[in-house]
Amino acid sequence: MVENRPYRDFFAHAVLVTGVLLVAFPLWVTFVASTLTFEQIVNVPMPLWPGDQFLHNYTQVLTSGSEKGSSAPVSTMLFNSLVMALSIAIGKIVISILSAFAIVYFRFPGRQFFFWSVFVTLMLPVEVRIIPTFKVAADLGILDSHVGLALPLIASATATFLFRQFFMTIPDELAEAARIDGAGPIRFFIDVVLPLSKTHMAALFVILFIYGWNQYLWPLLITASESMYTVVIGIKRMIAGGDASNEWHLIMATAMLALMPPALVVVLMQKWFVKGLVETEK
Amino acid sequence: MEKRVVFKSAWLPYVLLLPQITITVLFFFWPAAQAVYFSFQLQDAFGMTSQFVWFDNYTYLFRDSHYLSSFKVTAFFSVMVAACGILISLLLATMADSVVRGALGYKTFLIWPYAVAPAIAGVLWAFIFAPSIGIVTYFLKKFGIDWNWIINSEQAMLLVVIASVWKQISYNFLFFLAGLQSIPKSLIEAAAIDGAGPFRRFWTIVFPLLSPTTFFLLVMNIIYSFFDTFGVIDATTQGGPGDATKILVYKVYYDGVKAADLGGSSAQSVILMAIVISLTVIQFRYIERRVQY
């Protein structure tokens, strides 16, 4: 960079490699544990090199769940997580882009009021209103269902803001030209706004997919039957008691299955992920 | 900011807003209002009758030593999470910014924990540090440290801090790296020509220019440690041993769901809401000021 000092470069690499290794250490232990037998893990210290139980453990959890804790197969839980993550991500994008379009491209009575009422929802995370929200879900009869998992988490101020900011940067000439050519607002939305918003939608999708997949408190409250558990809840239910009695080999295999999909999304869609993260937060 | 060109329709904007507003009212405003309403009420043990008790739930809370200790625990926990997370990420980001080769590779290997759910992060670390079978516990014993977070409150706190920081490093790292990369290289070169060493350059140029990012991350980390770490706590210590790791949001959940104290839990929710609102306001005011700067 500024000066050429080989030892400093070496130092930087050393710090970074240490950081990467420390960050990866839990993942490695988890992976190794998921390939061992129960006896190998309980026999302290557990080996730090993968064993030969990979197929056995993963088939076991995917098809029939754990033996002592929850007995729902993890494949069902993965499916529930996927449904939840996809409906939250797509749902949020759809309702936010529609409301941002209304707020930016129309003048109507109550516009400011609606804008601010969406804005203040930023300040109300699920955690601070758990019990009343649970009551609403109970009254609507959506407890223990896929709708109940996703619907209450769909409203999003951040996505609405992102789209609003972006729509403000679309040149007015485009809307003017569309109007002169006789296109109404719906036509304009479908043919101009949607195609222009593609990159923003992709970036938001990555962030919201992870958000939905990793939800914990809400699914914990409203799922009652094991067939509705998301995989994050499933793991929690597998941890039954003392640490030597848990079936750690199965729990760790489930943990790998639970963290791989969002981790792959982050790593493979890194560009969209970074864009989404930086833009939704600022 | 207003658009010059707009469309005219008496009904279309309302139709477009309808889904968003419906969900917001149903799942945000109504429950929040209910929380405020419940917080002024006292229910009997079976939830059959309730009476209006004004601020009794609140005054009771502030006389309750458990609640006050939860405040202290939360304050300590969030300061630890924010400080450790920011320091480690700043170090890693500074290093990643200074290396010529391999920066992208390091980035890829450092950002994936963002994708791990807090509850799973908790399970991973609880396993490594498990009192009887954990691999790190085993090595700690060799150094003569008796590690058991199930009965030792300091160790329990340390465990949840480690798990929470681990998950948040990637987030901080990305923002710091972006901040560092936006600092003009000419400034640093000029300082180097004037004879400033790397530490001096960092403290007098890089760090002040990064301060908006640092402040933003400070607020975000505090919000993170207040709410998102619920999963970490519930999957590991569940607030224990005793109340050693019972942060405010965990207490809201515990009192409301497990102990079925609707009024007290709602009053705590309202206090938490007030805290989030003030944090958000601080952040927005700060961002406004930064625009002028």
Nearest by CB to A278, from B178, B272, B287: name it: B178
Residue A2 has pLDDT above 60, yes or no: no
Domains and CATH numbers, chain A: 34-278 (1.10.3720.10)
Q: Compute φ and ψ for B52, nearest 5 degrees.
A: -80, 125
C-alpha–C-alpha distance, residues A47 and B133, integer Å: 12
Mean local confidence (pLDDT), B20-41: 87
Residue carrying structure tokens 């998921």: A34
- Is A107 in CB contact (< 8 Å) with chain B? yes
Report the pLDDT value the prediction gives residue A183, as an integer from 0 to 100: 86
* Minimum mean pLDDT range among A216-230, B28-42, B273-287: B273-287
As to burial, measured by CB atoms within 10 angstroms (0-12 exposed, 13-18 middle, 19+ buried), residue A140 is: middle
Find the mean pLDDT for residues A121-143.
Answer: 81
Q: What is the pLDDT, as a whole number, of residue B145?
A: 82
Distance from CA of B183 to the nearest CA of A (A): 13
ipTM of the complex: 0.88
Instruction: Tell me the pLDDT tens digit for each residue of B128-158.
Output: 998 888 888 888 888 888 888 888 888 999 9
> Which of residues A214 and B64 earns the better pLDDT score?
A214
- pLDDT number for residue B291: 41
Q: Which residues, other chains included, contact B21 with Cβ-Cβ below 8 Å and sequence gap of 6+?
A: A99, A114, A117, A118
Nearest to A249 by CA among A58, A3, A91, A121: A58
- State how far residue A116 is from chain B, nearest Cα, in angstroms: 11
Contacts of A270 in chain B (CB under 8 A): 107-108, 111
CB contact under 8 A, A235 and B257: no
What residues 48-87 of chain B have any CB closer than 8 A to a CB of chain A?
Answer: none
Which one of A1, A7, A9, A16 would you mutate to disrupt binding with B, by most B Cβ within 10 Å of its Cβ?
A16
The band of A188, judged by pLDDT with boundaries at 50, 70 and 90, is: very high
Q: What is the C-alpha to C-alpha distance for residues A153 and A87, in angstroms, rounded to an integer?
A: 10
Q: Give this prediction's pTM.
A: 0.90
pLDDT tens digits, residue range B234-271?
988 888 788 888 998 898 888 888 877 778 888 888 88
Instruction: Select the residue of A16, A26, A242 nearest B99 (Cβ to Cβ).
Output: A16
pLDDT confidence of B280, banded at 50, 70, 90? confident
pLDDT of B38: 82
- How does pLDDT run across B205-237, given as a tens digit for each residue? 888 888 888 888 988 899 899 888 999 999 888
A99 touches chain B (CB under 8 A): yes
CA angle B38, B44, B49 (to 5 degrees): 75
Residue of A nearest to B270 (CA): A128
Nearest to B220 among A42, A262, A281 (CB): A281
Asked if pLDDT for residue A195 goes beyond 70, the answer is yes
Q: Using a CB–CB cutoff of 8 Å, tell me whether B271 touches chain A.
A: no
Q: How far apart are CA B124 and CA A251, in angstroms?
A: 10
- Minimal Cα–Cα distance from B163 to chain A, Å? 10
Percentage with pLDDT > 70 across chain B: 94
A53-73 confidence digits (pLDDT tens): 888 888 888 887 776 666 678
Structural contact between residues A275 and A282, judged by C-beta atoms closer than 8 angstroms: no
Q: Residue A193 has what pLDDT? A: 92
Which pLDDT belongs to residue A68? 66
Give me the residues paired with residue B41 across strands: B52
Interface check A149 vs B, CB under 8 A: no
